[in-house]
Amino acid sequence: MPRTLWKQTASLIALGRPLHLLGGALFYSLGAVTAIYAGATLSWVTALGGLLAMLAAQLMAHYSNDFFDFDADQANPNPTQWSGGSRVLPAGHLPPQVALIASLVFAVLGLLLILWFAPQTPAPLLTVVVFLVAAFFAWSYSSPPLWLNRRRLGELFGAVTVPGSTLLLGFVVQRGSLELLPLLVAIPLCLMQFGQLVTVNVPDAEGDRLVGKHTLIVWLGPDRMRGPYLAMLALAYLSLPLLVVAGLPWPVALAVLITAPIALWLGFQVIRGAWYKPATWNALGFWSIGLIVGTALCEFGAFLLML
């Protein structure tokens, strides 16, 4: 294979940010293990089929994000390892249209996969509906017609979509019903995801402002955004007693507490003004992602121990 083709292939893979697929796979698997705890019998075939469809939808979102955020990413003088897109398009490694084409290809692939495997699940129609709703909002985070992340709604809908709908899909594929338990499991993750999205939007704020992209950090500014951020972070843990009363198994709630030191460190850094210090942005992004991934892993482990 010619060297140029190798470089283009590597750029196409990097454009999809494959590392982030691990988080989606984890949330989906957490939903599946929650379903097994609730009484479902694990079907490896449908579990794998649903996972592949979900990963295709996630790649659809990754590629569409880079295409429709191209102007903001070009204007961003402060990209980090965890924000500012993949940097493949601003660097000129591939034409922007490649990202859109890849996004549409994975959208079709995800749809075909879910339509193929859904008839083998306990509730085929519900499985397809949950997938389509999740895929629609994943697309809409940065893309038309809703442009959620340009209209101060990206953090809210992203917080629900990324861990919440992914976990719910994993649950429904195995259990075949909508129940309270997966929602209780997802609530701390959704609250943490909100904080993570706010955090990774901080380095992007200057470029976003230049192109009229109104994320919450652009709209409110760091000072006014600090309060809601800290409140969401605290609520992820303070809500645990109520979640247990509502039906969350207490070992899962205790498992969530394992990551509290990370949340305390993040909150302390933000209180000290870390959002104004570019030197801290990579660490904040890393530990914000680490918080939600670590929490999901702890919940997953707790459910495994209870099986």
Average pLDDT value for residue range 83-88: 93
pLDDT score recorded for residue 65 = 97
**The pTM is what?**
0.96
The C-alpha angle 57, 61, 65, rounded to 5 degrees, equals 170
Which residues are CB-contacts of 232 (< 8 A; sequence separation ≥ 6)? Answer: 191, 192, 194, 195
| Of residues 21, 235, 294, 234, the one with CA closest to residue 302 | 294
Instruction: Give the CATH architecture of domain 9-306.
Output: Orthogonal Bundle (1.10)
pLDDT score recorded for residue 180 = 98
Statement: residue 220 has pLDDT above 70: yes
Q: What are phi and psi of 151, to 5 degrees?
A: -125, 30
Statement: residue 212 has pLDDT above 60: yes
Distances in Å between the alpha carbon of 146 and those of 68, 101, 140, 169, 216? 12, 20, 6, 23, 16
Distance, in Å, from the CA atom of 142 to the CA atom of 151, rounded to the nearest integer, reads 10
Statement: residue 1 has pLDDT above 60: no
